[in-house]
Amino acid sequence: PGSSTSMVCRMSHEGTVHWYMQLPGEPPKRILYMSGQQRAVADSGDSRRFKVGKNPSEPVYSLTIHSLTPRDSGTYYCAYWFYQGITVLGGER
């Protein structure tokens, strides 16, 4: 306990970034997300341990986890939503 680790995600566009943790034999579980320049929202409610940084000039995000414990061991993923509008195709209403 007490140490920290960081990981970086490079996206192709700005958007809402989601970070997931996966334990062996289990599905990925979202741990937090960040939308644009807004403050990151931790699903666990423990936002003091998680810090997300954003490069202001490009869509590069970093996740730092502080006060690591053995239960933080797992595989981490990032994913993002990029909203570009809605297209309605054909059909009558």
**Using one digit for the tens of pLDDT, what is the confidence trace for 25-34?**
999 999 888 8
pTM (2 decimals)?
A: 0.75
Q: Is residue 87 one of the residues assigned to a domain?
A: no
| pLDDT tens for each residue of 7-26 | 998 888 777 888 999 998 99
Q: Is residue 86 one of the residues assigned to a domain?
A: no
Between CA 41 and CA 64 the distance in angstroms is 14
Alpha carbon 84 to chain centroid distance? 20
Between CA 19 and CA 31 the distance in angstroms is 6
Between CA 20 and CA 38 the distance in angstroms is 18
Q: For the chain, what is the domain count? A: 1
User: Which domain CATH number covers 59?
Assistant: 2.60.40.10
Q: Which domain holds residue 51?
A: 5-81
Q: Is residue 46 one of the residues assigned to a domain?
A: yes
Q: Is residue 88 one of the residues assigned to a domain?
A: no
pLDDT bracket for residue 46 (50, 70, 90): low
